[in-house]
């Protein structure tokens, strides 16, 4: 039997990896705690995001954290629940509890990204400023930020050719705002640069709404996806670290530690390795084999390790 296994999977390192993977899929209860979590609530955590200090990319640590199984994005304007992460397209979707939607209007201070945060607004994100003071908001006045000199609505608002404001005003709570529809200002952050800041106090607006998809029903604002879509980059060159994909394949979590921020692969058995978890899983479980003989798992280990000893 041993000979047959060797014929199928020849290099013994591959067999070792295979067996170690098999081990910790089979008996996860024997593992000690893994510092870096692979999930936060229902959200799967992968590089560059991490659950704890030392996990994920250090550039992201101060902005995204797992708090009581809820993934939260923090900026200088507040804390925002992460709704979902699209790892393929590198987009993180957040919600702002202070934001107005088709089902409610409420006051908000606005939203801003920290100037040095590793995020930018996704092109799909559209904001609408609501309830702005016609008397004092700089989006209407001639001495405002970007007015056209005629005292009319500023270039800041990209309303031309979009029926978005009329759709929003078809929502009952928004229609009760005591201001005409012409005061609704569409604000597209991608035109305004990465350090875009929507300071509603400065803009003299009471509330705003934001969304990133019409969900194929542009005329049905009830069904739009409200929230904010942000793009992220792994590094200046946006390269996914090769060492990290190898680590994640072995059920590890990538992190950085120490004064020099050296790469670590935090493994399911709690150990930190410099590469991946394939070897450490086999090694660690092998040591445990001789300690608790209480359950049948020990016997499986014993048999598996006997095969390994024969091979090596």
List residues binding ligand NAG (CB under 6 A).
35-36, 54-55, 148-150, 220, 222-223, 255, 257, 264, 266, 270-272
CB of 62 to ligand NAG, least distance (A): 15
CB of 28 to ligand NAG, least distance (A): 18
Q: Which CB, 283 or 305, lies closer to ligand NAG?
A: 283
CB of 222 to ligand NAG, least distance (A): 5
C-alpha 164/C-alpha 161 separation (Å) is: 9
CB of 261 to ligand NAG, least distance (A): 10
Q: Which CB, 136 or 152, lies closer to ligand NAG?
A: 152
CB of 267 to ligand NAG, least distance (A): 9
Per-residue burial over 284-311, b if 16 or more Cβ lie within 10 Å, else e, is bbbebbeeeeeeebbeebeebbeebeee
Q: Give the CB-nearest residue to ligand NAG.
A: 54
CB of 65 to ligand NAG, least distance (A): 14
Q: Which CB, 11 or 149, lies closer to ligand NAG?
A: 149
Q: Which CB, 35 or 65, lies closer to ligand NAG?
A: 35
Q: Which CB, 142 or 310, lies closer to ligand NAG?
A: 142
Q: Which CB, 148 or 199, lies closer to ligand NAG?
A: 148
CB of 215 to ligand NAG, least distance (A): 8
**Ramachandran region, residue 267 (left: φ > 0; alpha: ψ -120 to 50; beta: rest):** beta
Q: Which CB, 255 or 268, lies closer to ligand NAG?
A: 255
């Amino acid at each position: 039997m041993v000979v047959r296994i060797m014929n199928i999977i020849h290099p013994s390192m591959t067999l070792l990896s295979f067996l170690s993977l098999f081990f910790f899929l089979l008996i996860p209860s024997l593992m000690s705690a893994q510092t870096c979590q692979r999930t936060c609530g229902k959200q799967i955590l992968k590089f560059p995001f991490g659950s704890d200090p030392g996990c994920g990319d250090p550039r992201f640590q101060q902005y995204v954290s797992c708090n009581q199984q809820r993934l939260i994005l923090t900026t200088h304007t507040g804390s925002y629940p992460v709704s979902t992460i699209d790892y393929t397209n590198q987009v993180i979707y957040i919600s702002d509890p202070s934001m107005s939607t088709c089902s409610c209007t409420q006051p908000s201070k606005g939203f801003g990204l920290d100037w040095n945060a590793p995020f930018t607004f996704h092109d799909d994100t559209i904001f609408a400023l609501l309830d702005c003071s016609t008397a004092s908001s700089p989006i209407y006045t001639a001495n405002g930020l970007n007015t056209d000199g005629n005292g009319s609505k500023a270039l800041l608002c990209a309303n031309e050719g979009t029926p978005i404001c009329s759709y929003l005003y078809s929502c009952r709570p928004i229609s009760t705002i005591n201001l005409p529809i012409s005061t609704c200002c569409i604000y597209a952050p991608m035109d305004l640069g990465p350090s875009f800041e929507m300071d509603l106090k400065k803009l003299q607006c009471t509330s705003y709404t934001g969304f990133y998809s019409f969900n194929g029903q542009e005329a049905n604002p009830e069904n739009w996806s409200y929230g904010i879509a942000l793009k992220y980059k792994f590094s200046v060159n946006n390269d996914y670290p090769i060492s990290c994909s190898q680590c994640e394949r072995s059920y590890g979590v990538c992190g950085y530690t120490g004064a020099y921020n050296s790469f670590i692969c935090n493994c399911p058995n709690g150990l930190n390795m410099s590469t991946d978890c394939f070897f450490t899983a086999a090694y660690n479980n092998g040591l445990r084999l001789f300690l608790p003989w209480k359950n049948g798992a020990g016997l499986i280990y014993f048999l598996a390790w006997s095969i390994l000893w024969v091979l090596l």
